[in-house]
Structures are given as C-alpha cells and as structure tokens.
Chains A and B, each alone.
Chain A
Amino acid sequence: MIEIKNLEKIYPSKTGGFVALKDINLTVEDGDIYGIIGLSGAGKSTLVRCINLLEKPTSGQILIDGEDLTKVSKKRLLQLRRNISMIFQQFNLLQQRNVLKNVELAGEIAGNKNPTEKAIELLKLVGLEDKLNSYPAELSGGQQQRVAIARALMTNPKVLLCDEATSALDPETTHSILELLKSLNKKLNLTIVIISHQMSVIEAICNKVAILDKSGIVSNGYLQDVFLSPTNEVAKKLIYSGHVNTGIKGEKFVKLMFTGEVDKPIVSNVITELKISVSIMYAETKLINDRVCGQVIFRLPNYSEDIVKLTDYLTRENVPFEEVDSDALY
C-alpha cells in the first residue's frame, strides 16, 4: 500500500520557489491500478517521481507498507526502490546493451549473480523471447516498452510506476501495452500507478483515478464516480474532451448517468412513452471496470409539466440525473 500524506514539492528559484505539488493526499491499495491524470504542467511527473523519491519531497510523507521513504537511510531507500519499479515515456533502455543485457542489468544491480534465466523468463512473459540479442535501436517503440517492463519486473516489484508509458506509442500499440499491464496486475498482483494526460488510457485499465490540476488533487476516487460526476473544470475538460455541444449560453441541460445497473433504453422511452422530444448534446458509453458506464446530456424540456414527468420517470427507473448549466459543462 502506498500512502502519500501532505506531500509538497517546491523547486527553489530566485523569486521564492515554484510550487510543483501542494497538499497531496492519496492512498493506493495493493492491487489497484491507480490513474493520475492532468493537463501538462499539472505536476504529474513530479508526483510519480516523489513516490520512489527520484524527486525529494519538500515536505510530507511517502509511506510504502507503513515505511516512510522520506525518513529511511540511503541504503534502505535503494533497497525499497526495487519494490517500486518504473517505466517511462521514452522507454530509457540503455542503447549500447542488447535486450537481454538490459534486463539482466536490473538483476545485477540488485546483486543477482546469475540473472540470465530470470531475464529470459520475463522476456518470454512480455512476448519478446525472439529478440534477446537485438539492440534497442532495432526495436519498435512498443517492443522497447516491453523490454522496459521486463526490466522493471526483474527486481520483483510490488508496485509499477508508469510515467506516460504509452504517450509515445500509436493507439494499437498503446492498447497492447495496456493489456499487458492489466494482465500483470492480475497475474502478479502488481499494484500499478499510471500517469497520463489521456483519459482513454485511464479508462482502459484503471480502477481508481486522481485528477491533478495546478499542483493539487482536485478529485479522486473510483473511476466511475469521478468519470460520471466530474466536479470541476479540469475534470470536465479531460472527460468531455471538448466534445460537448454547449448550445446557447445560459440554457438548462439535464445529465443522465448510467452506472451499469440500469438495463433499459431510457432515452428512447423518454421519447416514445413520455412523448418528450429531446435533443442530445452529449452522449458517451464506456467500459469501466467491466461495467458499461455512460452519460447522456440533453436539453431540458421547455414545459414544466414535461420536466416533472421526466424527473418522476428517472427517479422511478433509478437513473441518477442532475441539472446542469450549459456554461458549466465546458
């Protein structure tokens, strides 16, 4: 379990210091795939580097299974880092070592005198057993990231930190890497922390998410909760990603949220049974944690009796809904 408590990171500067992170509190349970999302410059990369102390926090605590990384000796820190591996956007393989030697290196560092067998086993696990003698320059981005994953697993980590690990990859390769991470999470009970600026990455594999904005966490929790009720500007920006037709300024909309519990054609029933015509401003369904989640936003009916009919119906069918302002959407 990773507990981040009151974390703060300030980079010193002549004008008094740049606050990269402030007041961060976050708990990642064992087995979680925790997404941390935010726009560029929000502090995501700094946050993930604070977890293994590649960046030293200015204040606050990083507890790994109760042990505070900010307080342990240098030697103990190096040991603990082996429990918290990391993969990167640019893969960061050593260019002058072949695939096998890159993976073996992680074992050598941990004092493993004979890392070859294990390295080959892990390269099989990531599907690269036929590339042992290739050099990173000969591999595609996806293959390089697989090598990096094998290297990260060499130290038997409990946690894998992914810093924009798929941002340099095309959508298809991204998908295959995410599937690999998902399977490692299940097979090895590996806790994964994923930093990304893409909602699609988070949706694909995370069970929990934290939204980072202007150096602080503005929203966090189970993915479906954060996803269905984005409570602030940045969350909305990331989730609706500019696809909302905001209509006329000041108009009233209603948002329906589907959490996978209702199995009825709600919108078409509103139209055919309640005889209320709706114009849809935004609609989306996603598979989150193996449940179909979605939301529909449409214009509020003009007549108050229609509004009453609609709200009665939605309450009866157990569909969570709320009134939203067109300005508030984006």
Chain B
Amino acid sequence: MPFTDILIMIAETVGVTALATLFAYVLGLPCGVLLNVTGKNGLKPCKWLNTLVGLIVNILRSIPCLIIIVLCIPLTREIFGRGTGEWYTILIPLTVCAFGFVSRMVEQSLAEVPAGEIEAIKSLGATDFQVIMKVLLPEARVSLVTGVAVVAVSILGYTSFAYNIGAGGLISGIYTFYTRHTGDYLGKFIFWVMIVLVVLIVQGIQELGLFIAKKLDKRKILK
C-alpha cells in the first residue's frame, strides 16, 4: 500500500471528523442551550418544549449509528448527488448521529454554571438572551471545549462505518486491509502502522482539547 494512500486516508478521517463535529455543534449547541433554558431549573422553564426536544434527542441517540447511516442515504443522495462511495457521503449521517449527543453534552455543561452567577447578572437587569451570551456560554467554555474533544473522538469512532458505504478513511482502510490479508494481517507492518496512526490522532484530539481548555480556564490560577 503506497504511502500517499495512507496520507489520503488520514486526511479523509481527520476532515470528516472535523466537519461532522462542526456541523453537529452548529445544530447541537443551540439545541443544548434550548434544553438547558427550558429545563426545570433553566432561565425559562417550558415543560412541553423541553420534553419534545428531549424526546427527539433521545430517539436520535437510541438509533445505532449504522442504522442512521442507512436511513440517511436518500437524503445524502438528494444533497450531494450520490448516497455512497465518496468520503463526503458519511458527513450527514455522522452529524445526525452526534447531534443528540452534542445537545446533551452542551445542556450538561451549561448546567454546571453556578446559579448565583446567573442570578447576579439577572439582578442587573439582563435579558435572557444576554444571560445566555454573556454568562452561560462564556462561563461554561472550559466544559464546552472538553466536550468538543469527547464528541470528536466518538465521531472518529463512528467513521468506522464508512467501510459499509465505501466512504473511505483510515479506520475503514484498516478493515479493508484485513479483508485482503485475512491469513497474515497481524504479521504485516503497515497494518500496525495504521493502528498506531489512529491512536495518535485520538490522542492528539484529546490533548489539544485539554490544552485549549486549560488555557481558557481562569478559575484556578497559580500565583
């Protein structure tokens, strides 16, 4: 297997993971805010809306990713012109898979913001929108960033299913390699190289997340 093939696979995996994470947050961040704000202890408790959105999120989270991938094929075909076979054909299903998860992560992160800080800003006459933009999101930023890293790692895991629709990437590359060398794949150097690469990418995402989170956190400052 030529070196350039592996480079392409890395690019596909990292690119798809990054884009799907981005899209999942474009949808999941507002949804998580909505869940938090309409929740029992939120800024504007609204039971029916919270239950409704919560239900949608829960259903999405309950459907296994492989099933979502299959369900999304017609939609992908509608948008991209083809449903399978190219790296970008897995973007929509991965976004859908991660969306519910992201919503719950965001909801949870916002719930960690001390109620007193919100109350203090409300006492200054802030609107609910100002509380969200100036208190909830900025004060939860450390937890939100750590959440992004966790989500990205799970999405990277989901890219395994790219094998099933021929959407490429490093992990499905490893599986393809196995199917072609079923007898002696464990003895092949390149097989292990690819696995180490996956581990390195995952570690890289986690470390980057932690690094940024630490940089952003002003709560514990060593004098």
Question: B141 to chain A: which residues have CB within 8 Å?
Answer: 96
From known contacts A96-B218, A98-B218, infer whether A85 and B124 are also in contact, taking CB-CB under 8 Å.
yes
Contact of A52 among B116, B123, B223 (CB under 8 A): B123
Our pick among A82, A97, A137 for the contact of B124 (Cβ within 8 Å) is A82
Q: Flag if A109 contacts B116 (CB, 8 Å).
A: no
Which among A92, A105, A110, A138 is the interface contact of B116 at CB below 8 angstroms? A92
Binds A, one of B16-24, B131-139, B156-164, B201-209: B131-139
A232 at the interface (CB under 8 A from B): no
C-alpha gap A93/B135 in the complex (Å): 10
- The reply on B180 being an interface residue by CB < 8 A is no
Q: Is the interface of A mostly helix, strand, loop or mixed?
A: mixed
In the complex, A213 Cα to B213 Cα: how many Å?
47
Flag if B125 contacts A82 (CB, 8 Å). yes
Smallest distance from the beta carbon of A106 to chain B beta carbons, Å? 5
Tell whether, in the assembled complex, residue A137 and residue B221 are in contact, meaning their CB atoms are under 8 Å apart.
yes
A92–B124 alpha-carbon span in the complex (Å): 12
B114 within 8 A of A: yes
Contact residues in A for B70 (Cβ distance below 8 Å): none
Interchain CB contact (< 8 A) of A94 among B127, B135, B216: B135
Determine if A78 is an interface residue (Cβ-Cβ < 8 Å). Answer: yes
Contact A106 B124 (CB under 8 A): yes
* B interface residues, how many (CB within 8 angstroms): 26
A131 CB within 8 Å of chain B: no
Inter-chain contacts of B135 with A (CB < 8 A): 94
User: What distance in Å separates the Cβ of B117 from its nearest Cβ neighbour in chain A?
Assistant: 5
B123 touching A109, Cβ below 8 Å: no
Chain B CB within 8 A of A3 CB: no
Contact assessment for B223 and A138 in the assembled complex, using a CB-CB cutoff below 8 Å: yes
Q: Which of A271-319 contact B (CB under 8 A)?
A: none
Smallest Cβ distance from B212 to chain A, in angstroms?
14
Q: Which of A80, A135, A155 contacts B218 (CB 8 A)?
A: A135
**Interface assignment of B51: CB less than 8 Å from any CB of chain A:** no
Q: How far is the CB of A153 from chain B (nearest CB, A)?
A: 11
**A94-B219 contact in complex given A108-B134, A109-B126, A155-B125, C-beta closer than 8 Å:** no
**Chain B stretch 102-125: residues in CB contact (< 8 A) with chain A:** 114, 116-117, 119-125
Q: Which residues of A contact B124 (CB under 8 A)?
A: 81-82, 85, 105-106, 109-110, 151-152, 154-155
* Shortest Cβ distance from residue B197 to the other chain A in the assembled complex, whole angstroms: 36
- A88 in the interface (beta carbon within 8 A): yes
Chain A nearest CB: distance from B116 CB in Å? 4
A189 CB within 8 Å of chain B: no
State which residues 83-121 of A face B: CB under 8 Å.
Answer: 84-86, 88, 90, 92-98, 105-106, 108-110
Chain A residues closer than 8 Å to B139, beta-carbon distance: 94-96
1/0 per residue, CB under 8 A from B, across A28-70: the answer is 0000000000000000000000001010000000000000000
| Residues from chain A with Cβ under 8 Å of B123 in the complex | 52, 54, 81, 84-86, 161
A6 within 8 A of B: no
When the two chains form their complex, are residues A109 and B119 in contact, meaning their CB atoms are under 8 A apart?
Answer: no
- Interchain nearest-CB distance for B69 vs A (Å): 38
Interface flag for A79 (CB, 8 Å): yes
- Alpha-carbon separation in the docked complex, A271 to B145 (Å): 76
| Contact between A54 and B134, CB atoms less than 8 A apart | no
A88-B120, A109-B134 are known contacts. Are A96 and B216 too (CB-CB below 8 A)?
A: yes
Interface centre among A96, A97, A148, A161 (most CB of B within 10 A): A96
**B47 CB within 8 Å of chain A:** no
A137 / chain B contacts, CB cutoff of 8 Å: 218-221
B176 on interface, CB distance cutoff 8 Å? no
Given A78-B125, A82-B125, A135-B117 contact (CB < 8 Å): no
Q: What is the interface of chain A, defined by CB distance below 8 A to chain B?
A: 52, 54, 78-82, 84-86, 88, 90, 92-98, 105-106, 108-110, 135, 137-138, 148, 151-152, 154-155, 161
Known contacts A79-B125, A90-B116; 5 additional CB pairs below 8 A are: A78-B126, A85-B123, A94-B117, A94-B139, A96-B218
Q: Which 9 A-B pairs have the closest CB atoms?
A: A92-B120, A81-B125, A92-B116, A86-B123, A135-B218, A78-B125, A82-B125, A109-B126, A95-B219
